[in-house]
Structure 1
Amino acid sequence: MSSVRKVGVAGWGAIGRVVGTALAEGRVEGAELVRVIDNRPLGGTAPARQTTLEEALEACDLVVEAAGQGLVREWGERILASGTDLLIASTGALTDEDLAKRLLAAGPGRVYFTGGAVGGLDLLQAVRSLGPLDDVRLTTTKLPSTLEQPWMDEELLTRMRTATAPVEVMSGTAREVPAKFPRSTNVAASVALAVGDLDTVRVQVVADPAAHRTRHLIEATGAHGSYRFEVSHLPDPGNPATSQVVPHAVLRSLAALAGRSGQIL
């Protein structure tokens, strides 16, 4: 592998544009953007050659997934089998345990996950080595409009659209919730990846008309300690379903993979 990571960004949306532009401007030492993968016509606006994913695998040693869970399901194993590493932003795809096992077993490429909009996952992963956590809860609060889904009935949609106070939209496990909110609750899957158990993580999704910042509260307890992490982010102006910080979390992960010193690992 060369000393400079040859990166392809899959998905030129709210996350991919920020990540790809930073790479093209040389803001990630040890990594360069060589391909943009998106099946939509971008009109020459991408700062690197636009190709299919299959063609990009011939030029890249690392693909950043910023295109959604579908790409992880359809292409994840093929990317890794080609010898190309894969950095996944849409961790919600990993609520499919069979897929997660196949990706972790695939290779010779390596699979990585970015923490996205929350912190503390490194600590939860470290605590997990001491023994299982007894209780893990995630409460995600967003603007009602960012949580609307095709499966919702009219009664729930009306409650959300007319709400003057927080409304619980769904509660369940980290196995159940991300499948219902594929663009809004990757955080739940990320917490489950850190904890090592989809069913241990209880998730509550709340619609709040006053939630001008997206909020995530993680609370965990176990025999070895208690942990609480709370974050409040501005939504991305181009895609309010995701937080503005997410592409910068991807860039931090990229910097670590490119070998930048001084990184917290």
Structure 2
Amino acid sequence: MSRVRKTGLIGWGAIGRVVGSAVAAGEVPGAELVGIVDNRRLGDAVPAPQLTMEQALESCDLIVEAAGQGVVREWGRAILTSGTDLLVASTGALTDDELAKGLLTTGPGRVYFTGGAVGGLDLLQAVRAMGPLSEVRLTTTKLPSTLEQPWMDERLLAAMRSAKEPVEVMRGTAREVPVRFPKSTNVAASVALAVGDLDAVRVSVVADPAAVHTSHVIEASGPHGSYRFEVRHLPDAANPATSQVVPYAVLRSLAALAGRSGQIL
């Protein structure tokens, strides 16, 4: 009989609430929600005790990150060094080469990543095994209000706020873009992880006032073929910067780690 994964959750936001509630309700066989780490006072409405990070590391063998790139940078290596496994939702943190190398080489805990709001990554990994892709492009389109950032100048902000049609707000690599949009472009890092090269993935971020759905279009080509994936998600009502599907992608990854049988990997 497989052991139960004693699971801690970092973050009680749009992603964490769905993930934590599902685990607490027994919807992920093999996983038990032991506690929740959050820097806010959550009160009695949460389905598990609120813990400090130190308490979580003492009582959990798996931590699920659902609180943003900063948490991965601050706590990632400490979690792994303690012997606790880490499931990362905020893959954009891995655009930092030093951090990524540290997470992948630190133990005895193991680090895992979820693809979040994008599909086709398994196929890109398979193609990559045959040889490098010659071109990979990602176009992410979201509502302008979800893309506003402190570094933007007044001219760009005014263009986004008054736009009547799509406006490109940044173009760069998968290394550059998630740093500028830490809550909105983890998909870029997920694609780059699949391709194996942050600098090979060219990313365009588009603000569209008519974007009822968040859209991610991946286009890749190489000696062995060409590939195009498009996903269109409804934004989360509580946090439009993320898609409704993201917590369910995290739950799927957690279910795989907890040992649920009979699913496509």
Q: Distance in 2 between matches of 1:86 and 1:168?
A: 35
CA distance in 2, matches of 1:126, 1:59: 37
Could you tell me which residue of structure 2 aligns to residue 171 of structure 1?
Answer: 171
Name the residue aligned to 1:11.
Answer: 11
SS at match of 2:212: coil
User: For the Cα contact (< 8 Å) 2:214–2:233, is it kept in 1?
Assistant: yes
Matching residue of 2:133? 133
**Could you report, residue by residue, the CA deviation over 1:173-231 in whole angstroms, capped at 9, with x for unpaired residues?**
00100000000000000000110000000000000000010000000011111111100
Task: Give 1:178-257 correspondences, 5 Å limit.
Answer: 178-257=178-257
CA positional deviation for 1:118: 0.3
Q: Where does residue 41 of structure 1 map in the other structure?
A: 41
Matched with 2:157 is: 157
Contact in 1 for aligned 2:2/2:259 (Cα 8 Å): no
SS at match of 1:42: coil
Note the 1:97-108 alignment, pairs <5 A: 97-108=97-108
Paired AA for residue 19 in structure 1: V
* C-alpha deviation, 1:98, in angstroms: 1.0
Normalised by the length of structure 1, the TM-score is: 0.99
* One-letter amino acid of the counterpart of residue 67, structure 2: A
- What amino acid maps onto 1:56 in structure 2? A
**Mapped pair 1:80 → 2:80:** yes
State the partner residue of 1:91: 91
How many residues are aligned here? 265
Partner AA of 2:223 in structure 1: A
Is structure 2 residue 121 aligned with structure 1 residue 121?
A: yes
CA distance in 2, matches of 1:191, 1:21: 28
Please give the secondary structure, in 1, of the residue aligned with 2:6. strand
Counterpart residue type for residue 251 of structure 2: L
Unaligned ranges ≥5, structure 1? none
Identity %: 78
| Structure 1 position 68 matched with structure 2 position 60 | no
**TM value normalised by structure 2:** 0.99
Give the secondary-structure state (helix, strand or coil) at the position aligned to 2:130.
Answer: coil
> Deviation at 1:127?
1.3
Secondary structure, counterpart of 1:221 in structure 2: strand
- Listed one character per residue, the Cα deviations across residues 16-61 of structure 1 (whole Å, up to 9, x for unaligned) are 0000000000000111100100010011111101011111011101
Instruction: Give the drift of 1:2.
Output: 6.6
Structure 2 gaps, min length 5: none
User: 1:112-149: CA deviations, max 9, x gaps?
Assistant: 00000000111111111111111000000000000000
> What SS does structure 2 have at the residue aligned with 1:51?
coil
Name the counterpart of 2:145.
145
Equivalent-residue separation in structure 2 for 1:46 and 1:18 (angstroms): 11
How much has 1:240 moved relative to structure 2? 0.2
Distance in 1 (CA, whole Å) between partners of 2:83 and 2:228 is 38
SS of the residue corresponding to residue 232 of structure 2 reads strand
AA of the residue aligned to 1:168: E
Say which SS state the counterpart of residue 50 (structure 1) adopts.
coil
Which runs of structure 1 show a deviation greater than 2 angstroms over 4 or more consecutive aligned residues? Answer: none
Kindly provide the amino acid, as one letter, of the partner of residue 148 in structure 1.
E
CA distance in 1, matches of 2:113, 2:264: 15
What is the CA deviation profile of residues 68-125 of structure 1, one whole-angstrom value per residue up to 9, with x for unaligned ones?
0011001000100111000000000000011101100011111000000000111111
- How large is the Cα RMSD of the aligned pairs? 1.0
Secondary structure at the residue paired with 1:228?
strand
Q: Give the Cα–Cα distance (whole angstroms) in 1 for the partners of residues 191 and 97 of structure 2.
A: 14
SS of equivalent to 2:247: helix
Query: For the residues of structure 1 that align with 2:33 and 2:126, how far apart are their CA atoms?
Result: 32
